[in-house]
Amino acid sequence: MSHVRLTRLDQVPRRSHVVSIGTFDGVHRGHRHLLESAATRSGELGVPLLVVTFEPIPAQVIRPDTFPGRLLTADRKIDMLLSTGEIDLLVLPFTEALRLQTPEAFMENLHRFALPAELWVGEEFALGYNRGGTVDRLTAIGTGLGFPVQAVDRLVHDGEIISSSRIRAHILAGEPERAASLLGYPYSVAGEVIPGAQMGRRIGFPTANVVPPDGLVALPDGIYASFAYLPGELRPLGAVTYIGTRPALNSGNRLIETHILDFEGDLYGMQLQTAFVERLRPDATFESVDALIVQLQKDEAHARMALASRANLAGNA
């Protein structure tokens, strides 16, 4: 497989390509459908597939105050794109100059360096200043430059269009199971396990604590059934995860605290990926430590049931 990662158009080998462009936040089922369609066409034409994306995500730059957050870190998005098949990947820095570029200028540069045989995009895709490069406009520009533009219809699942914005909405609403149905895998976060206050260990529920990565869309505070992915483990482990500021302990720092079921070991300094399956309840305060323990026991029982019914998600994060 080809796993070439480029950052400038002038680095692209001067030969014909099928080109697919997108933000690809989440690399969700719709994105993979687009990339599979483009890959099939590149095979038919006997030319490489060049996938073009942008970092940071344009919405992070254009509307930072209202953008709810990413579905994937930049590194994980790139890794997932490279894992989709035999592609060359061009990750263009989304600079102010690129934001202000006209669709015509972008397409002319693409034609000059990548020599597109065809351009494949999603039906709602747009590029250029003020998103002026709609599919219709790109099609007209492509015709003038001598290559067709193919727009792939968006996928629908259970009556809902698969899109990054819909997935973010489900995550913000505390619906990781709905997000997973559109993503094709459970929403997850990863980070280094850091020392905590040891309260969980003292009451029989030790946790691995991770600071949420900056810039990702945030699930609401609460308790979640989850899967924990540890280095060296062949399969994920069932877990109960807390997201919040620990009001029961009067803490003000937002953390992700994961109690891995039926596991003992020191995880400090290790990378832990937590995939969220179902929100069990909101965050809460308790009158006593004993009351907290009783609730945590209930949470664990509920989590085991939720994870048993969704075991098919375990290997997909």
Residues in a beta bridge with 53 = 91
Taking the C-alpha atoms of residue 201 and residue 267, their distance in angstroms, rounded to an integer, is 13
Determine the structural domain holding residue 199 and report its residue range: 186-313
Residue 27: which pLDDT band, with cuts at 50, 70 and 90? very high
pLDDT tens digit string along 297-317? 999 999 999 999 887 776 677
Residue 113: which pLDDT band, with cuts at 50, 70 and 90? very high
pLDDT tens digit string along 132-146? 999 999 999 999 999
Domain count, the chain: 2
Asked if residue 179 lies in contact with residue 160, where contact means CB atoms within 8 angstroms, the answer is no
Average pLDDT over residues 56-66: 94
pLDDT of residue 212: 86
pLDDT of residue 254: 81
Q: Are residues 107 and 207 in the same domain?
A: no
Average pLDDT over residues 21-37: 98
Q: Are residues 18 and 63 in the same domain?
A: yes
Q: Are residues 72 and 202 in the same domain?
A: no
Question: Distance of CA 156 to CAs 123, 162, 183, Å?
Answer: 13, 6, 12
Q: Are residues 68 and 200 in the same domain?
A: no
pLDDT of residue 251: 52
Average pLDDT over residues 272-279: 97
**Mean pLDDT taken over the chain:** 93
Average pLDDT over residues 3-8: 79
In a domain, 177, yes or no: no
Q: Are residues 63 and 198 in the same domain?
A: no
**CA angle at residue 229 from 223 to 233, to 5 degrees?**
140
CATH number at residue 118: 3.40.50.620
In a domain, 174, yes or no: no
Average pLDDT over residues 50-74: 96
pLDDT of residue 1: 40
pLDDT of residue 102: 96
Q: Is 46 helix (H, G, I), strand (E, B) or coil?
A: coil
In a domain, 160, yes or no: no
Asked if residue 247 has pLDDT above 70, the reply is: no
